[in-house]
Amino acid sequence: MYKHLIYIEEKIAHHPATQRITESLRPAQIVYIQHYKEVLNQTNSHWLFNKEYQKIILAKRENEFYYKGSYLTPTFGFKHFYYNTLAINCLFHCEYCYLQGMYNTPHLVLFLNNQDFIQSTQQLIHQSKEKIYLALSYDTDLVALERYYPYCKEWMWFANNEPRLTIEIRTKSHQIDDIISLTPADNIILSFTLSPEEIQKKYEPFTTKLEQRINALKKAIDKGFRVMICVDPLIYSAEFQTIYSKFLNDVFREIAPKRLYAASIGVFRMNKNFFKRIKKNGNPSDIYYYNYVTENKMVSYPKNIRREMIMFVQNILSQKGVKNIHIYD
C-alpha cells in the first residue's frame, strides 16, 4: 500500500469519515477527483506494478447499492441472494483472485456512504416478503478494511434489528476482535476462507497464516457467532489429496465440526474474460498455465478433476460431522 498519496472524490471531501481516514493516514498529497472511475478505470496501467503501489480512493457510491448474486457464487439455499460492493479491490493479493482481471487498476476504493447502502437494503427488505441473504462485499476483504471504516460493525448493528436479513462477512483476516465484541445474532454469519498452508504460502502471500485464521475462527465461535468455513477455491496439484486431507485434519483438530454453522466448497473457477485479462497482464503464477476447460463462459478444471476434488473434500467434511455443506460445482 502506497500511503503517500490518496485520491478523494470532491463530493465526499467533507464527509466525517474522509476526515478521519486522512487524519490517520496523513498522506503528503491529496488528489481530488470528480469520480473514482477516473483513477480506477484508467487504461494502459501495468496492473501488477500498480498493486505494488496500491493507493486508496475515497468515494461515494451514487447508485446500485446491492446486486443479485452471480451464478459463480453459491446461494446457500436462499431464494433471494444478493451481494453489495462497499469497497472495490482488496488489500491482499491472492494469485487466483478474479479481481486482477475485473478492473484496470488495483487501487482500493472505499465507499464512505455506507449508510446509503444500509438504507437501500432496508427498502429492499421491506419490499420483499421473504428472507434475504446478503453477502457483504465479495470484491474485497471487508474485515481487513475495518481499520479504515467500520463497515462490518455498522452492518452488524443493522442486521441485529432486521431478522429477515442474513448477512455474510467473508474474510481471510484474523483481526476480528473488534467485530466479535458486538452482540452475535443468528442472522450474522462470519465466513473464514481457509486454505492449506502450502496453498496459502504459494498463492495467498499477504494473507494471515492458517493457524491465525483458525484461532480467529475459534474466538468467533466461542463468542457465539455462526461461523462458516469456506474451502474455496480448491487448487489442484499432484499431491492434492495428501495436502487437503492433512489440512482438514489440522483444522478439525482445533475446531469441533459440530460447532460450525456450515462449510462451503468450490474449485478454482473464473469468468473467462477475467482469466484472459489476468494472463495478458503478465501474472506469472502457474495457476494461469493449467489446462482448464471453458464452460458457460467460466474457466475451471476439467469435469473429472472438479468432481474428484469436490467429492474428496465433501467426504472428509461429512465424515467429520459438518452439517451444512454448500458446494459450488
Partner 1 sequence: MLPKLLVFAYPDEAQVYLNQFPAKTLFQLKSIHCLINEKENVYTLITGSGFENVSVAISVFFERYNHLRENILCFNIGIAGSYGQPLYSVFYTSKITNYHTLKSFYPDVFIKTSMAELMSILFPANKKIMKHYPAALFDMEAFAFANTCRFFVKNHQIHCIKFVSDKDGKISDMFQLLEQYEHKAPEILSIIYQIEQQVNKFFKCNNTKVIYDTTIAQTFSQKMRLTFSQQNQLNKAIQYYLHQHSKDSLDTIFQSALNTEIKSKQERNQVFQQILNKLYNV
Q: Which residues bind partner 1 (CB under 8 A)?
A: 2, 4-5, 7, 28-29, 31, 33, 38-39, 42, 44-46, 48-50, 52-53, 55, 236-238, 284-286, 289-291, 305
CA dist., res. 114 & res. 118, Å (int): 6
CA dist., res. 196 & res. 118, Å (int): 35
CB of 46 to partner 1, least distance (A): 5
CA dist., res. 157 & res. 90, Å (int): 24
CB of 197 to partner 1, least distance (A): 16
CA dist., res. 289 & res. 266, Å (int): 20
Residue number with CB closer to partner 1 (104 or 175)? 104
CA dist., res. 35 & res. 8, Å (int): 9
Strand partners, 168: 135, 189
Residue number with CB closer to partner 1 (52 or 254)? 52
Residue number with CB closer to partner 1 (94 or 180)? 94
CB of 117 to partner 1, least distance (A): 26
CB of 193 to partner 1, least distance (A): 23
Residue number with CB closer to partner 1 (128 or 283)? 283
Helix (H) or strand (E) holding 267: strand 262-267
CB of 12 to partner 1, least distance (A): 17
For residue 26, give Cα distances in angstroms to 20, 29, 58. 10, 9, 14
Helix (H) or strand (E) holding 52: helix 47-52
Evaluate whether 93 touches 1 at the Cβ level (below 8 Å): no
Residue number with CB closer to partner 1 (52 or 222)? 52
